Amino acid sequence: MDAMRDAAALEFDLDTGRRGERDSHLRTLLCELTGAEDATVVNNNAGAVLICLNTIGAGRQAIVSRGELIEIGGAFRMPDIMERAGVQLIEVGTTNRTHPKDYAKVIGPDTGLILKVHTSNYRIEGFTAEVDGSQLAKIAHDAGIALLNDLGSGTLVDLASYGLAREPTVREAVAEGADLVTFSGDKLLGGPQAGFIVGRRELIAEINRNPLKRALRVDKIRIAALEATLKLYRDPDRLAARLPTLRLLTRKQSEIMAQAERLQPKVTSMLRSRGYDVDICGCLSQIGSGALPVDTIPSAALRIAASSGTALEELAALFRTLPRPIIGRIQSGCMLLDLRCLADEQSFLESLAEGTGHAMA
Ligand SMILES: *Cc1c(COP(=O)(O)O)cnc(C)c1O
Protein backbone atom coordinates (compact mmCIF):
# COMPACT_ATOMS: atom_id res chain seq x y z
CA MET A 1 0.00 0.00 0.00
CA ASP A 2 2.87 2.37 0.73
CA ALA A 3 3.99 1.87 -2.82
CA MET A 4 0.63 3.14 -4.02
CA ARG A 5 0.39 6.12 -1.71
CA ASP A 6 3.87 7.48 -2.19
CA ALA A 7 5.45 9.10 -5.17
CA ALA A 8 7.17 6.45 -7.27
CA ALA A 9 10.29 6.72 -9.37
CA LEU A 10 8.21 5.90 -12.41
CA GLU A 11 10.25 6.70 -15.49
CA PHE A 12 13.25 8.02 -13.67
CA ASP A 13 16.44 6.16 -12.96
CA LEU A 14 17.48 7.04 -9.41
CA ASP A 15 21.06 5.86 -9.99
CA THR A 16 21.84 7.89 -13.06
CA GLY A 17 19.35 10.73 -12.70
CA ARG A 18 18.12 10.07 -16.24
CA ARG A 19 14.90 8.89 -17.79
CA GLY A 20 14.44 5.23 -16.91
CA GLU A 21 12.05 2.40 -17.62
CA ARG A 22 8.82 2.31 -15.66
CA ASP A 23 9.13 -1.40 -15.06
CA SER A 24 12.79 -1.70 -14.05
CA HIS A 25 12.10 -3.06 -10.54
CA LEU A 26 9.67 -5.56 -11.92
CA ARG A 27 12.25 -6.67 -14.47
CA THR A 28 14.75 -7.38 -11.75
CA LEU A 29 12.23 -9.37 -9.73
CA LEU A 30 10.99 -11.33 -12.74
CA CYS A 31 14.52 -12.26 -13.80
CA GLU A 32 15.35 -13.37 -10.28
CA LEU A 33 12.21 -15.50 -10.00
CA THR A 34 12.35 -17.09 -13.46
CA GLY A 35 16.03 -17.26 -14.37
CA ALA A 36 15.34 -15.28 -17.57
CA GLU A 37 17.78 -12.74 -19.00
CA ASP A 38 15.23 -9.99 -19.21
CA ALA A 39 11.53 -9.31 -18.71
CA THR A 40 8.78 -6.85 -19.40
CA VAL A 41 5.14 -6.40 -18.52
CA VAL A 42 2.00 -5.44 -20.42
CA ASN A 43 -1.68 -5.06 -19.66
CA ASN A 44 -2.63 -8.75 -19.73
CA ASN A 45 -1.39 -12.03 -21.12
CA ALA A 46 -3.50 -11.67 -24.25
CA GLY A 47 -1.54 -8.48 -24.90
CA ALA A 48 1.71 -10.27 -24.10
CA VAL A 49 1.01 -12.95 -26.70
CA LEU A 50 -0.07 -10.33 -29.24
CA ILE A 51 3.04 -8.19 -28.88
CA CYS A 52 5.41 -11.18 -28.86
CA LEU A 53 3.87 -12.58 -32.04
CA ASN A 54 3.86 -9.20 -33.72
CA THR A 55 7.45 -8.42 -32.74
CA ILE A 56 9.08 -11.66 -33.77
CA GLY A 57 6.64 -12.98 -36.36
CA ALA A 58 4.92 -10.20 -38.31
CA GLY A 59 4.85 -11.02 -42.00
CA ARG A 60 6.13 -14.51 -41.31
CA GLN A 61 4.75 -17.89 -40.30
CA ALA A 62 4.21 -19.26 -36.82
CA ILE A 63 3.89 -23.01 -36.36
CA VAL A 64 1.38 -24.31 -33.81
CA SER A 65 0.15 -27.79 -32.96
CA ARG A 66 -3.50 -28.49 -33.81
CA GLY A 67 -3.88 -29.67 -30.23
CA GLU A 68 -3.05 -26.20 -28.91
CA LEU A 69 -5.28 -23.84 -30.91
CA ILE A 70 -7.17 -22.71 -27.86
CA GLU A 71 -10.09 -20.46 -27.24
CA ILE A 72 -10.17 -18.96 -23.78
CA GLY A 73 -12.99 -16.86 -22.32
CA GLY A 74 -13.73 -13.44 -23.75
CA ALA A 75 -13.20 -14.36 -27.40
CA PHE A 76 -9.46 -14.86 -27.15
CA ARG A 77 -8.87 -17.36 -29.93
CA MET A 78 -5.32 -18.16 -30.85
CA PRO A 79 -5.88 -18.16 -34.64
CA ASP A 80 -7.55 -14.72 -34.43
CA ILE A 81 -4.82 -13.22 -32.27
CA MET A 82 -2.22 -14.53 -34.69
CA GLU A 83 -4.01 -12.93 -37.60
CA ARG A 84 -4.23 -9.59 -35.76
CA ALA A 85 -0.53 -9.85 -34.93
CA GLY A 86 0.18 -10.13 -38.65
CA VAL A 87 1.43 -13.69 -38.35
CA GLN A 88 0.47 -16.52 -40.67
CA LEU A 89 -0.71 -19.58 -38.78
CA ILE A 90 0.72 -22.92 -39.87
CA GLU A 91 -1.09 -25.76 -38.11
CA VAL A 92 0.71 -29.03 -37.64
CA GLY A 93 -0.07 -32.46 -36.24
CA THR A 94 -3.54 -33.54 -35.21
CA THR A 95 -5.88 -32.70 -32.37
CA ASN A 96 -4.56 -35.47 -30.15
CA ARG A 97 -1.06 -36.17 -31.43
CA THR A 98 1.73 -33.95 -32.68
CA HIS A 99 5.31 -35.17 -33.22
CA PRO A 100 8.68 -33.43 -33.64
CA LYS A 101 8.74 -34.26 -37.34
CA ASP A 102 5.44 -32.42 -37.84
CA TYR A 103 7.14 -29.18 -36.85
CA ALA A 104 10.44 -29.88 -38.57
CA LYS A 105 8.95 -30.63 -41.96
CA VAL A 106 7.05 -27.34 -42.36
CA ILE A 107 9.92 -25.05 -41.34
CA GLY A 108 11.04 -22.99 -44.32
CA PRO A 109 12.42 -19.58 -45.25
CA ASP A 110 9.17 -17.84 -44.26
CA THR A 111 8.98 -19.35 -40.79
CA GLY A 112 9.38 -16.84 -37.98
CA LEU A 113 8.72 -18.89 -34.90
CA ILE A 114 7.27 -21.95 -33.22
CA LEU A 115 4.49 -21.20 -30.78
CA LYS A 116 3.70 -23.53 -27.89
CA VAL A 117 0.44 -22.88 -26.05
CA HIS A 118 -0.64 -24.24 -22.69
CA THR A 119 -4.03 -25.89 -23.08
CA SER A 120 -5.27 -24.09 -20.01
CA ASN A 121 -8.96 -24.85 -20.04
CA TYR A 122 -9.18 -28.36 -21.45
CA ARG A 123 -7.20 -31.55 -21.44
CA ILE A 124 -6.75 -34.06 -24.23
CA GLU A 125 -6.59 -37.53 -22.76
CA GLY A 126 -6.13 -41.01 -24.12
CA PHE A 127 -4.00 -41.65 -27.20
CA THR A 128 -2.02 -38.42 -27.15
CA ALA A 129 1.43 -37.04 -27.89
CA GLU A 130 2.87 -33.58 -27.67
CA VAL A 131 6.33 -32.25 -28.22
CA ASP A 132 7.80 -30.90 -25.00
CA GLY A 133 9.42 -27.51 -24.58
CA SER A 134 13.03 -28.67 -24.75
CA GLN A 135 12.47 -30.66 -27.95
CA LEU A 136 10.71 -27.69 -29.49
CA ALA A 137 13.51 -25.34 -28.46
CA LYS A 138 16.01 -27.62 -30.18
CA ILE A 139 13.94 -27.81 -33.36
CA ALA A 140 13.50 -24.02 -33.40
CA HIS A 141 17.15 -23.24 -32.69
CA ASP A 142 18.44 -25.75 -35.25
CA ALA A 143 16.38 -23.83 -37.78
CA GLY A 144 17.49 -20.44 -36.49
CA ILE A 145 14.00 -19.39 -35.38
CA ALA A 146 12.49 -18.54 -31.98
CA LEU A 147 10.28 -20.52 -29.64
CA LEU A 148 7.50 -18.62 -27.89
CA ASN A 149 5.88 -20.53 -25.03
CA ASP A 150 2.53 -19.13 -23.86
CA LEU A 151 2.03 -20.66 -20.42
CA GLY A 152 -1.34 -18.98 -19.86
CA SER A 153 -1.64 -18.88 -16.12
CA GLY A 154 1.94 -19.79 -15.45
CA THR A 155 3.22 -20.33 -11.94
CA LEU A 156 6.42 -19.24 -10.25
CA VAL A 157 6.41 -22.08 -7.74
CA ASP A 158 6.02 -25.83 -7.93
CA LEU A 159 2.38 -26.23 -6.92
CA ALA A 160 2.97 -29.89 -6.07
CA SER A 161 4.97 -28.75 -3.06
CA TYR A 162 1.76 -27.14 -1.78
CA GLY A 163 -0.24 -30.32 -2.31
CA LEU A 164 -1.79 -29.17 -5.60
CA ALA A 165 -1.48 -30.73 -9.04
CA ARG A 166 1.72 -29.93 -10.88
CA GLU A 167 1.91 -27.17 -13.46
CA PRO A 168 5.03 -26.33 -15.43
CA THR A 169 6.76 -23.35 -13.82
CA VAL A 170 7.98 -20.32 -15.70
CA ARG A 171 11.54 -21.10 -14.62
CA GLU A 172 11.25 -24.56 -16.21
CA ALA A 173 9.93 -23.10 -19.46
CA VAL A 174 12.87 -20.69 -19.56
CA ALA A 175 15.37 -23.45 -18.73
CA GLU A 176 13.96 -25.64 -21.51
CA GLY A 177 15.18 -23.01 -23.94
CA ALA A 178 12.10 -20.98 -24.87
CA ASP A 179 13.21 -17.63 -26.25
CA LEU A 180 10.12 -15.91 -24.86
CA VAL A 181 7.64 -17.08 -22.22
CA THR A 182 4.34 -15.32 -21.53
CA PHE A 183 2.06 -15.70 -18.50
CA SER A 184 -0.68 -13.89 -16.56
CA GLY A 185 -0.33 -11.79 -13.44
CA ASP A 186 -3.81 -12.53 -12.18
CA LYS A 187 -4.42 -16.23 -12.57
CA LEU A 188 -2.55 -18.64 -10.31
CA LEU A 189 0.06 -15.97 -9.68
CA GLY A 190 -2.47 -14.12 -7.55
CA GLY A 191 -1.63 -10.53 -8.49
CA PRO A 192 -3.48 -7.82 -10.39
CA GLN A 193 -4.25 -8.14 -14.09
CA ALA A 194 -1.05 -8.15 -16.13
CA GLY A 195 0.82 -10.06 -18.78
CA PHE A 196 4.46 -10.93 -18.20
CA ILE A 197 7.01 -11.59 -20.91
CA VAL A 198 10.35 -13.08 -19.93
CA GLY A 199 13.16 -14.32 -22.14
CA ARG A 200 16.13 -13.36 -24.25
CA ARG A 201 17.47 -9.87 -23.78
CA GLU A 202 17.55 -8.80 -27.43
CA LEU A 203 13.99 -10.01 -28.03
CA ILE A 204 12.68 -8.19 -24.95
CA ALA A 205 14.46 -5.06 -26.21
CA GLU A 206 12.71 -5.44 -29.56
CA ILE A 207 9.37 -5.85 -27.81
CA ASN A 208 10.00 -2.68 -25.82
CA ARG A 209 10.61 -0.82 -29.08
CA ASN A 210 7.38 -2.09 -30.66
CA PRO A 211 4.84 0.81 -30.83
CA LEU A 212 2.22 -1.61 -29.47
CA LYS A 213 4.09 -1.58 -26.16
CA ARG A 214 2.80 1.83 -25.25
CA ALA A 215 -0.74 0.86 -26.17
CA LEU A 216 -0.49 -2.16 -23.89
CA ARG A 217 1.41 -0.61 -21.02
CA VAL A 218 0.57 -0.90 -17.35
CA ASP A 219 -0.15 2.03 -15.03
CA LYS A 220 1.91 2.82 -11.95
CA ILE A 221 -0.61 1.57 -9.40
CA ARG A 222 -0.63 -1.83 -10.99
CA ILE A 223 3.14 -1.87 -11.24
CA ALA A 224 3.29 -1.22 -7.50
CA ALA A 225 0.80 -4.01 -6.79
CA LEU A 226 2.65 -6.40 -9.10
CA GLU A 227 5.92 -5.65 -7.36
CA ALA A 228 4.35 -6.25 -3.97
CA THR A 229 2.95 -9.59 -5.21
CA LEU A 230 6.20 -10.76 -6.77
CA LYS A 231 8.17 -9.87 -3.64
CA LEU A 232 6.11 -12.43 -1.73
CA TYR A 233 7.55 -15.10 -4.03
CA ARG A 234 11.03 -14.40 -2.70
CA ASP A 235 9.99 -16.18 0.47
CA PRO A 236 8.35 -19.47 -0.63
CA ASP A 237 8.04 -20.74 2.95
CA ARG A 238 5.62 -17.98 3.88
CA LEU A 239 4.00 -17.65 0.46
CA ALA A 240 0.95 -19.79 1.22
CA ALA A 241 0.23 -17.74 4.33
CA ARG A 242 0.66 -14.35 2.64
CA LEU A 243 -0.67 -14.71 -0.89
CA PRO A 244 -4.49 -14.94 -0.78
CA THR A 245 -4.79 -17.09 -3.94
CA LEU A 246 -2.45 -19.73 -2.61
CA ARG A 247 -3.82 -19.46 0.92
CA LEU A 248 -7.31 -20.27 -0.34
CA LEU A 249 -6.14 -23.02 -2.70
CA THR A 250 -4.29 -24.75 0.13
CA ARG A 251 -6.98 -24.53 2.82
CA LYS A 252 -7.51 -27.96 4.31
CA GLN A 253 -10.88 -29.62 4.00
CA SER A 254 -10.99 -30.17 7.78
CA GLU A 255 -10.62 -26.44 8.38
CA ILE A 256 -13.37 -25.61 5.87
CA MET A 257 -15.56 -28.30 7.41
CA ALA A 258 -15.10 -26.69 10.84
CA GLN A 259 -16.16 -23.37 9.34
CA ALA A 260 -19.25 -25.03 7.86
CA GLU A 261 -20.10 -26.42 11.28
CA ARG A 262 -19.80 -22.97 12.83
CA LEU A 263 -22.02 -21.36 10.21
CA GLN A 264 -24.66 -24.04 9.68
CA PRO A 265 -26.80 -23.36 12.79
CA LYS A 266 -26.82 -19.61 12.14
CA VAL A 267 -27.65 -19.93 8.47
CA THR A 268 -30.32 -22.51 9.31
CA SER A 269 -31.99 -20.13 11.74
CA MET A 270 -32.21 -17.48 9.05
CA LEU A 271 -33.51 -19.71 6.28
CA ARG A 272 -35.70 -22.28 8.00
CA SER A 273 -38.68 -19.97 8.46
CA ARG A 274 -38.65 -19.48 4.70
CA GLY A 275 -38.82 -23.19 4.10
CA TYR A 276 -35.18 -23.96 3.38
CA ASP A 277 -33.11 -26.68 5.02
CA VAL A 278 -29.39 -26.26 5.51
CA ASP A 279 -26.91 -29.06 6.10
CA ILE A 280 -23.23 -29.65 5.53
CA CYS A 281 -21.57 -31.72 2.85
CA GLY A 282 -18.15 -32.39 1.42
CA CYS A 283 -17.63 -30.99 -2.07
CA LEU A 284 -14.94 -30.38 -4.64
CA SER A 285 -13.57 -26.95 -5.49
CA GLN A 286 -12.53 -26.41 -9.06
CA ILE A 287 -9.33 -24.45 -9.64
CA GLY A 288 -9.93 -23.35 -13.22
CA SER A 289 -8.88 -19.88 -14.36
CA GLY A 290 -6.51 -20.92 -17.06
CA ALA A 291 -4.70 -23.69 -15.26
CA LEU A 292 -5.35 -27.19 -13.94
CA PRO A 293 -8.60 -27.38 -15.94
CA VAL A 294 -9.83 -30.68 -14.61
CA ASP A 295 -8.27 -30.74 -11.16
CA THR A 296 -10.43 -30.41 -8.09
CA ILE A 297 -9.61 -30.05 -4.40
CA PRO A 298 -11.68 -31.41 -1.51
CA SER A 299 -13.67 -28.75 0.29
CA ALA A 300 -16.82 -28.37 2.36
CA ALA A 301 -20.11 -26.61 1.68
CA LEU A 302 -23.36 -25.50 3.18
CA ARG A 303 -26.05 -27.36 1.25
CA ILE A 304 -29.39 -25.60 0.99
CA ALA A 305 -32.44 -27.64 0.03
CA ALA A 306 -35.75 -26.10 -1.05
CA SER A 307 -39.26 -27.44 -1.43
CA SER A 308 -39.12 -26.86 -5.19
CA GLY A 309 -36.82 -25.80 -8.00
CA THR A 310 -38.62 -22.46 -8.17
CA ALA A 311 -37.99 -21.83 -4.48
CA LEU A 312 -34.30 -22.54 -5.02
CA GLU A 313 -34.16 -20.14 -7.97
CA GLU A 314 -35.85 -17.50 -5.83
CA LEU A 315 -33.21 -17.92 -3.15
CA ALA A 316 -30.40 -17.71 -5.71
CA ALA A 317 -31.95 -14.50 -7.08
CA LEU A 318 -32.29 -13.03 -3.58
CA PHE A 319 -28.65 -13.88 -2.80
CA ARG A 320 -27.52 -12.12 -5.95
CA THR A 321 -29.22 -8.86 -4.92
CA LEU A 322 -27.50 -8.64 -1.52
CA PRO A 323 -25.10 -5.73 -0.97
CA ARG A 324 -22.42 -8.42 -0.81
CA PRO A 325 -23.90 -10.95 -3.20
CA ILE A 326 -23.70 -14.63 -2.26
CA ILE A 327 -23.17 -16.91 -5.23
CA GLY A 328 -23.66 -20.62 -4.90
CA ARG A 329 -23.90 -23.41 -7.40
CA ILE A 330 -26.84 -25.70 -8.00
CA GLN A 331 -25.99 -29.37 -7.75
CA SER A 332 -28.42 -32.30 -7.52
CA GLY A 333 -31.34 -29.98 -6.83
CA CYS A 334 -29.63 -28.14 -3.95
CA MET A 335 -27.64 -24.96 -3.68
CA LEU A 336 -24.06 -25.50 -2.55
CA LEU A 337 -22.10 -22.72 -0.93
CA ASP A 338 -18.51 -23.93 -1.13
CA LEU A 339 -16.82 -22.17 1.77
CA ARG A 340 -13.25 -22.46 0.49
CA CYS A 341 -12.97 -18.75 -0.30
CA LEU A 342 -15.07 -17.38 2.55
CA ALA A 343 -12.70 -15.36 4.70
CA ASP A 344 -15.05 -12.93 6.41
CA GLU A 345 -17.73 -14.98 8.16
CA GLN A 346 -19.18 -11.98 9.95
CA SER A 347 -20.03 -9.97 6.87
CA PHE A 348 -21.35 -13.12 5.19
CA LEU A 349 -23.77 -13.56 8.09
CA GLU A 350 -24.66 -9.87 8.14
CA SER A 351 -25.37 -9.90 4.44
CA LEU A 352 -27.53 -12.98 4.80
CA ALA A 353 -29.38 -11.44 7.76
CA GLU A 354 -30.11 -8.35 5.72
CA GLY A 355 -31.42 -10.36 2.80
CA THR A 356 -33.65 -12.52 4.95
CA GLY A 357 -34.88 -9.74 7.24
CA HIS A 358 -33.18 -11.07 10.39
CA ALA A 359 -31.65 -8.59 12.78
CA MET A 360 -28.10 -9.51 13.70
CA ALA A 361 -27.09 -9.55 17.31
C1 LIG B 1 -5.59 -16.93 -19.88
C2 LIG B 1 -4.74 -17.18 -21.07
C3 LIG B 1 -4.36 -16.14 -21.93
C4 LIG B 1 -4.83 -14.72 -21.72
O5 LIG B 1 -4.40 -14.22 -20.50
P6 LIG B 1 -5.08 -12.93 -19.85
O7 LIG B 1 -4.12 -12.52 -18.79
O8 LIG B 1 -6.41 -13.36 -19.32
O9 LIG B 1 -5.22 -11.91 -20.93
C10 LIG B 1 -3.54 -16.44 -22.99
N11 LIG B 1 -3.12 -17.70 -23.21
C12 LIG B 1 -3.48 -18.72 -22.41
C13 LIG B 1 -2.95 -20.08 -22.71
C14 LIG B 1 -4.29 -18.49 -21.31
O15 LIG B 1 -4.65 -19.50 -20.50
Q: Which DSSP helix (H) or strand (E) runs through 167? A: none
Q: How far apart are CA 133 and CA 118, in angstroms?
A: 11
User: Do the domains spanning 2-245 and 251-356 agree at the CATH topology level?
Assistant: no
Q: Enumerate residue ranges in the chain where pLDDT < 70.
A: 1-22, 289-291, 359-361
What separation in Å is there between the alpha carbon of 104 and the centre of ligand 1? 27
| Domain 2-245: CATH class, spelled out | alpha beta
- pLDDT of 43 reads 97
CATH of domain 251-356: 3.90.1150.180
Nearest residue (by CA) to ligand 1, atom 7, is: 45
For a ligand 1 pocket test, name from 120, 188, 193 the mutation site with the most ligand atoms within 8 angstroms of its C-beta. 120
Pairing mode, strands 61-65 and 146-150: unpaired
- pLDDT of 289 reads 62
What is the residue extent of each domain of the chain?
2-245, 251-356
- pLDDT of 73 reads 79
Q: How far apart are CA 133 and CA 293, in angstroms?
A: 20
- pLDDT of 349 reads 95
What separation in Å is there between the alpha carbon of 320 and the centre of ligand 1? 28
Output the ligand 1 site: residues, CB below 6 A: 44-46, 49, 70, 72, 76, 117-118, 120, 150, 152-153, 184, 195, 290
Model confidence pLDDT, tens digit, residues 92-124: 999 999 999 999 999 999 999 999 999 988 889
Q: How many secondary structure helices (H) and strands (E) does the chain include? A: 15, 15
- pLDDT of 355 reads 83
Q: How far apart are CA 3 and CA 224, in angstroms?
A: 6
- pLDDT of 50 reads 98
Phi, psi of 118 (to 5 degrees): -70, 130
**Whole-number Cα distances in Å, 34 to 146, 290, 342:** 19, 20, 32
Nearest residue (by CA) to ligand 1, atom 3, is: 152
Specify the pTM: 0.91
